[in-house]
């Protein structure tokens, strides 16, 4: 049975849980280990049952399962394709006081630490429960956690607070931007390029929409709103992938591109999306249909995760600050599942071992000292649920 954070991290890293793969072997390994401690787990599967979330409750001393704090982590990792790794990314490697491997920082180090402490947690006479929540497909749009959160709400589960263990250097992060990703498919009409007026050029109309997206982005950059606590203090919009056309001498009938925006807390994502839709309906489509009456533009949501803005008055924020002795206000541009927990009525903060600067890169690592600091934090967190002397 795994007992130390190192043992657990070695086990977790060995599972290639790149988002395109199943995470079931990892989830089932955790489930079986928790079962050996007398802790049942509930699995919440994806629609095709190739992936699963896991939720387990370490009950209070009186057997209670309501309230308490949830420790949340995602089990999927980003690809290693084309990266220059100096060691096998799926074999935990120790060097210079750090452990190297895909997911060590983002965020299997946090999960490994929490799992290694389960025996200690169980021995504590808590007045409130401690929960573990492991999700799938966070890296491709936070797709798994909503399945679990919806089920927990339907079951009437109440939780007082959540710590999402993304890599923050064990510092408290209280806000992040939302993320909304879309695919746009522009349908025009093909023609030989020598007969240009007979076609409807999908690439050119896609380019006009991309330029409009850039204009909206520039408005946010120049006019705000701003929040200077963020490293990028305004909402951003970018077009990041595009494909279209079949030959140099053919007017393209299709073009696809993907874009995203990352909105500050307090900015309605729907309002931003509507700016794009308004331009499509009021400007682009009339132009296209003057050339080809069946032209159309389809915009599909690929992923959406709400922004997080924790309140300093929330008990979980105050507790995390007290335990880490960290009073600095930190807000980050990347998105996490914390916004989803907050949206579900569970006050949340982000605090975990490792550093975001090494996440997703070749030779990802987490320092042993960070894992040790995480263990201290989680022990204290569990002690906070115990009766005071």
Catalytic machinery residues: 76, 138
- Annotate 19-44 with b (16+ C-beta within 10 A) or e (fewer): bebbbbebbebbbebbeeeebebbbb
CB 317 within 8 A of CB 349: yes
| Pairwise CA distance, residues 317 & 371, whole Å | 21
CB 380 within 8 A of CB 323: yes
3-state helix vs strand vs coil in the chain, percent to 5? 35, 25, 40
| Pairwise CA distance, residues 167 & 149, whole Å | 22
The secondary structure element, H or E, covering residue 318 is helix 315-324
| Pairwise CA distance, residues 337 & 350, whole Å | 9
| Pairwise CA distance, residues 381 & 389, whole Å | 16
Nearest 5°: phi and psi at 382? -65, -40
- The candidate with the shortest Cα–Cα distance to 11, out of 305, 19, 3, is 3
| Pairwise CA distance, residues 173 & 162, whole Å | 12
Sequence-separated (6 or more) residues with CB below 8 Å from residue 275: 216
**How distant is the alpha carbon of residue 135 from its chain centre?**
10
């Amino acid at each position: 049975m795994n007992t130390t954070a190192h043992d657990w991290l070695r086990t977790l890293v060995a599972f290639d849980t790149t988002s395109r793969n199943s995470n079931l072997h990892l989830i089932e390994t955790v489930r079986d280990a928790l079962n050996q401690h007398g802790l049942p787990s509930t699995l919440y599967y994806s629609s095709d049952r190739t992936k699963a979330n896991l939720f387990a409750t370490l009950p209070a001393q009186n057997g209670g399962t309501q309230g308490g704090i949830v420790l949340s982590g995602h089990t999927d990792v980003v690809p290693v394709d084309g990266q220059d790794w100096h060691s096998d990314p799926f074999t935990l490697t120790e060097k210079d006081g750090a452990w190297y491997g895909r997911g060590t920082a983002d965020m299997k180090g946090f999960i490994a630490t929490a799992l290694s402490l389960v025996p200690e947690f169980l021995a504590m006479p808590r007045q409130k429960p401690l929960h573990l929540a492991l999700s799938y497909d966070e890296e491709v749009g936070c797709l798994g956690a909503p399945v679990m959160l919806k089920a927990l709400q339907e079951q009437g589960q109440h939780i007082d607070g959540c710590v999402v263990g993304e890599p923050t250097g064990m510092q408290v992060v209280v806000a992040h931007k939302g993320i909304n990703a879309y695919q746009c498919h522009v349908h025009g009409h093909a023609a030989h390029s020598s007969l240009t007026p007979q076609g409807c050029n999908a690439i050119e109309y896609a380019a006009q929409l991309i330029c409009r997206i850039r204009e909206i982005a520039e408005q946010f950059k120049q006019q705000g709103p701003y929040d200077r606590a963020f490293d990028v203090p305004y909402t951003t919009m970018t077009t990041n992938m595009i494909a279209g056309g079949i030959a140099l001498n053919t007017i393209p009938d299709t073009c696809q591109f993907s874009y995203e925006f990352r909105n500050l807390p307090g900015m309605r994502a729907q309002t931003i999306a509507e700016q794009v839709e308004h331009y499509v309906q009021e400007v682009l489509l009339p132009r296209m249909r003057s050339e080809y009456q069946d032209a159309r533009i389809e915009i599909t949501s690929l992923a959406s995760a709400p922004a997080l803005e924790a309140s300093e008055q929330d008990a979980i924020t105050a507790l995390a600050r007290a335990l880490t002795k960290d009073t600095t206000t930190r807000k980050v541009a990347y998105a996490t599942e914390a916004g989803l927990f907050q949206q579900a009525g569970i006050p949340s903060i982000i605090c975990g071992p490792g550093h975001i600067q090494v996440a997703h890169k070749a030779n990802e690592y987490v320092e042993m000292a960070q894992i040790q600091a995480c263990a201290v934090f989680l022990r204290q967190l569990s002690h906070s649920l115990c009766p005071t002397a």
